[in-house]
Structures are given as structure tokens and as C-alpha cells.
Amino acid sequence: MNGRRCVLSAVAFMTLGCKVNQFETETMEGLFRARGYDVVPFEESADVYVVNTCSVTHLSDRKSRQIIRRAARTNPRACIAVCGCYAQVAPEEIRALDGVRVVIGTKERAQIVDYVEEAMRAESGISGQITDIMQARTFEDIPLAHMPQRTRAFLKIEDGCQNFCTFCIIPYARGPVKSRELAAVRRETERIAAAGFHEIVLTGIHLGAYGIDLPGRPTLADACRTALSLPELRRLRLGSLESVELSNDLLELIRTEPRFAAHLHLPLQAGSDGVLTAMNRHYDTAAFARLIEDVRRAVPGVAVSTDIIVGFPGETEAQFEESLDFVRRMGFARMHVFPYSARRGTPAARRPDQVPAPIRKERAARMQALAEELAVGYHRAALGTVTDVLFETTAHGVTDGLTDTYIRVYTDAPVTRGDLVSVRLTRLFRDGVWGEPA
């Protein structure tokens, strides 16, 4: 591959799954722009379609295939490049789809333009490489060459996971923990802040394990301090973080640094000790409850959000009721509820005591109803307070954005997208609250 520019012009991207995938798509978009490509919406006819896939559930796999087929219908002559977790764990399924010309998995993203142009020169066959991800040991550091058109910027500082929860395919798709060097964290933070972003969200697959693979073993708290060393940065937020990896050092930084968003996403996954053990989660409900108590004592008003899986193999109705009761006691500000989805190749998928789909669906609906009840209670408790809101989007005369505690705030006041504005929260509205400039 010599990197020679082909006679191509338009590339379109589609991202499925998590914020890490979103960040990785943005880095690839920058690589194509640097090679002279125009980026167009995915719905338009393009010379190249890049589909960054997710494999967290079987529905994610199916949606990835649907998106690839949609691209092939939009322009049958296009080069379709597929990457991401689904491509990593099931490359042959991807290669069998019409129009796919490049498959690269969760590594080799830095070479994606070369692979695309190689495929186009060859006119047939499939280009790309699927790395043995379990042997990967270094962070694929691709600087953001083009800033995303958003108000908040995501910065990936870690990849890989070593928890091996029995339901999860991601460790097999991402490999072991790989961390971005602190110097690179600072470099990218400087670039993002200089581009005018007020908030940076640090993301990773196993974010709390940041640094365990680097010389000197820097911690996530060290990475946060590195980002916060730039006075231009006005808000720092963390992505999903395992509760057992919330160190006292990090909690103290959140408590004492006013620019640190008072919001932690700590996946619980189940509120039953029996289910947590079967999931190979590294805590029980008592330990989780103690942690939440410590967090709320250290950071008054902190928002704690979580993920919950219902219908895990072997989960009884009594265990589900335990989860409902525990979740209610924890009073989460926000919850993402997922019915269990069997992932081929994981221990949980091989269990004979799978919960029937109708029961999983019914339990998900009950847990979701509780999630909505808790969210309304959290929003109601915030009414009357004054807080800074980072406004993001405007539609039909109403602009919305987020507080540092991740409350969605709407207003019809003349605010500017991308600005932090001090707002008084006045009433419940849609999925959040209504605000008036203070």
C-alpha cells in the first residue's frame, strides 16, 4: 500500500454502539479528509461507505448487517469498508455480504484509507486485516485530525477489557487493556480545547483500568489531572466506569475540582447477588451500596447513572424482584435497561437455563418503568436550583443541553449553541426540565 490517492471523492460514515466507537469514527473521518475525501451523509450516494459496527448484542449484529445492505443498495458500485467489534469477532459473516470490500476489525484503523484505495485499485476481492486482538498490547493512537460538529468532545484514552463478564463478547473483540500515554492525553486535550469545546468526555472500554499497562502505572486520576491542567477546559466528564475501580484519589479529585462533572456512570448490571456471581461481576450488592453512599457523601448532589441487564440465564422471578428493590433503594438518576442477549462464544450463552424471550421483555418493561420513575424524581428534586448548562442543539425555537449532572435542560431563551450558560431549573419538561437564564 503506497497511499496513492484514487479517483474518489465522497465518503460516508455510520457508527453503531458506544461512545468509543463514535470517537474512533471521528478519527477515521479525519484520515479520509486528510487524503482529500469529502464527507457526506450516509443516506447520500458515496464512493466509500465506512460502517463501524457494534457486537454488544445479537440485535447489534443484525443492525450492522442491515446498515451494510442499505449502503450497497444506495450505491451498488461503492466500496464498503467495515470495522469495529462485529467485524473483529465474525469477519467471515461480514465478508459474505454484498459490496463489502474492506474488513479490519478493531485494529488497523490508521490504515483504513490505504486499505480502501487498495481495494479500489484491485477492483475485486476483499482488502484489510483482522489482527489477533488478544495479542495486541499497544494503544492505537490516532490524533483527531478533524474536530466533530458537536459541543462536547469525546477523547478515547483506553481500549480493551480484562473483566470477562460471562455475558460479554467485548473482551474478545477488543483484547487486553491498552492505554494512551499521558503526554498524548495532554496533546489531544490541548487540540480539543483550542477548537473551542467546553467539555471533554474521557472514554474507554475498561476506563477504570487506565494505565495498568504503561510504565509507572499512571491512574485514571492522573489522566484526569492531565486534562484539567489546561485552564481553557471548563468541564471534564468520565464515561462508563466500573464501581470497584473508583479510587479514593479519583473521588477526591471529583470532590475538589469544580470543573469535574458531578456525574458518574457506574454499571450495576444486576441487583441480585446470585445473578452478579453468575455474571462474574467483581462485587456484591452490599459493596455497591457502600460505594454509592461514599460517593454521595463525598460529592453532594452527584448524579449516579447505571446499566441493568434483566433476564440473565437462570434469573428467577425472586431474583428479578431483588433487582427491582435494590435499584429503587439506590435511587439512580438515569438507567439504561437491557434485556439479556446471548452472545455466541460467551459462557452465559452456553447455559441451558435461558430465560424465555417473553419473560425477558416483560421484565425489561417493568425495570424501564422504574427507571423513568426514578429519573422524574431526580429531575423534580433539582427544580429551583441554578446550574451551568452546555447547550447543544436547537429545534423549533427550543435549545437543549446538559448540566454537569447530566440533566437535559430546554429553554426558548436566546442562548448560543456551545456556550455554558447559568440557568435556573423551573419545571419538568419532556425527558428533562425547563430552564430560564439566571
* The residue to which cell 500500500 is assigned: 1
Alpha-carbon radius of gyration of the chain: 22
Domains 152-381 and 383-437 alike in fold: no
- For the segment 383-397, what is each residue's pLDDT rounded down to a tens digit? 999 999 999 999 999
3-state secondary structure of 346: coil
- For the segment 271-311, what is each residue's pLDDT rounded down to a tens digit? 999 999 999 999 999 999 999 999 999 999 999 999 999 99
Q: What is the Cα–Cα distance from 209 to 286, expressed in whole angstroms?
A: 22
In the predicted model, what is the mean pLDDT of residues 245-266?
96
In the predicted model, what is the mean pLDDT of residues 188-195?
92
The pLDDT score that the predictor gives to residue 155 is 95
Residues facing residue 79 across a β-bridge = 48
The pLDDT score that the predictor gives to residue 6 is 46
- For the segment 316-363, what is each residue's pLDDT rounded down to a tens digit? 999 999 999 999 999 999 999 999 999 989 999 999 999 999 999 999
* Closest to 185 in 3D by CA, of 193, 177, 175: 193
Q: What is the Cα–Cα distance from 162 to 168, expressed in whole angstroms?
A: 11
pLDDT over 70 at 370, yes or no: yes
- For the segment 104-118, what is each residue's pLDDT rounded down to a tens digit? 999 999 999 999 999
DSSP 277-288: HHHT-S--HHHH
In the predicted model, what is the mean pLDDT of residues 256-282?
97
The pLDDT score that the predictor gives to residue 7 is 47
The pLDDT score that the predictor gives to residue 149 is 64
Q: How confident is the model at residue 17 (pLDDT cuts 50, 70, 90)?
A: very high
* Ranges of each domain in the chain: 10-131, 152-381, 383-437
Residues facing residue 10 across a β-bridge = 38
pLDDT over 60 at 419, yes or no: yes
pTM for the model stands at 0.90
The pLDDT score that the predictor gives to residue 385 is 97
The pLDDT score that the predictor gives to residue 432 is 97
Amino acid, single-letter form, for residue 288: F
The CA–CA distances, whole Å, from 53 to 29, 46, 155 equal 15, 19, 19
* The residue to which cell 473483529 is assigned: 88
Phi, psi angles (nearest 5°) of residue 211: 95, -10
Average pLDDT of the chain? 94
Q: Topology of domain 383-437, per CATH?
A: OB fold (Dihydrolipoamide Acetyltransferase, E2P) (2.40.50)
The pLDDT score that the predictor gives to residue 148 is 65
* Closest to 239 in 3D by CA, of 337, 326, 152, 134: 152
**CATH number belonging to the domain at 152-381, selected among 1.10.1200.10, 3.40.50.300, 3.40.220.10, 3.80.30.20:** 3.80.30.20
Q: Topology of domain 10-131, per CATH?
A: Rossmann fold (3.40.50)
Phi, psi angles (nearest 5°) of residue 335: -135, 140
Q: Flag the least confident range among 1-5, 112-116, 217-221, 408-412.
A: 1-5
- For the segment 72-94, what is each residue's pLDDT rounded down to a tens digit? 999 999 999 999 999 999 999 99
